Amino acid sequence: MTQSGEPVIAVADLFKCYGDVKAVDGVSFQVGRGEVFGMLGPNGAGKTTTIEILEGLREPDSGTATVFGMDISKHAPSIKQRIGVQLQSVSLYPRLTVTELLDLFGSFYNHHLPTKQLIDAVDLGERARARSMELSGGQQQRLSIALALVNDPELIFLDEPTTGLDPQARRSLWDLVKGLQAKGKSIMLTTHYMEEAAELCDRVAIMDHGHILEMGTVAELIGRRFKERAIFFDTSLKLPAEQLGKLDGVTRAAVEDGQTVLYSSEVAGTIGALLALADSLSVEPHNLGIRQATLEDVFLDLTGRALRD
């Protein structure tokens, strides 16, 4: 999506400690109007703390955070009228129904959308009279999004919206987010699913240990690090690692999840050399394949660990 006008979120030099732990350690970024901005990182990276500062739920130790050009620590009530918030794994009043919860949360705002419209938007029509405790995980998550939309917000925060959902429920949530994006809403989300960030986000910030390591569009992030493509096959001890690194066109060799990955700027030459090497040692590389580098590769390259650790 295109960015226009002044950013809806502007964060500069944000710090937040919990005791000795620096949860957010000097974070700066901006989110443009109509943009879907994702924070990608493992658990404990500082994503949630950052987003909760922007939601007005936490005070930063230092740094500035503005939403709609207003300082969040000074104008929280008027900012809260205009943002929608979905928190990580929150259950709601368990004995209230979907309709009752939406009516209740609507009453907290100066302006709110009709409950019927919200229920239809998240496709909960058949469960409108069900108590929130009776909903499935995916339905609860959709209700939680409906509650975030109750005031027809300009900016929506989604903290790990699909964690713990089955693939089908995740897909349906992605469609929901894309629909919001199409309506011109600005969205900031956190996730530790690389494919989710790639699917939904215009721009991504990769975060770990309270720092933003890299920021940009998914294509930029990959292109910036990997001019190469990845050649992968099942790791076999018989192929000596030092020789693999010296094959034609290989810039780097790595072992990830039981697979050997060769990053190559010249795929045909590398594969030829690889097969020749294997042949000379009388072994055959299994499950050989080629792919573009992904966000996962970027993340591994940046942090040396997998996203879901």
Where does this chain bind another protein (CB under 8 A)? 55-57, 77-78, 80-81, 85, 87, 89-96, 100, 103-105, 107-110, 131, 147
Nearer to another protein, 62 or 78 (CB): 78
If the CB atoms of residues 56 and 60 are measured against another protein, the closer one turns out to be 56
* Shortest distance in whole angstroms from residue 96 CB to another protein: 6
The distance of closest approach from Cβ of residue 112 to another protein in the complex, given in angstroms and rounded to an integer, is 10
Residue placing its CB nearer to another protein in the complex, 147 or 273: 147
Q: State in angstroms the smallest separation of the CB of 128 from another protein.
A: 16
Q: Which backbone phi and psi does 126 adopt, to 5 degrees?
A: -75, -15
CB 145 → another protein: shortest distance, Å? 13
Cβ distance to another protein smaller for residue 94 or 125: 94
In angstroms, give the least distance from the CB of 94 to another protein: 8
By beta-carbon proximity to another protein, the closer residue of 93 and 240 is: 93
Burial class (CB in 10 A: 0-12, 13-18, 19+), 86: buried
Q: 109 or 174: whose CB is closer to another protein?
A: 109
Cβ at position 264, least distance to another protein in Å? 47
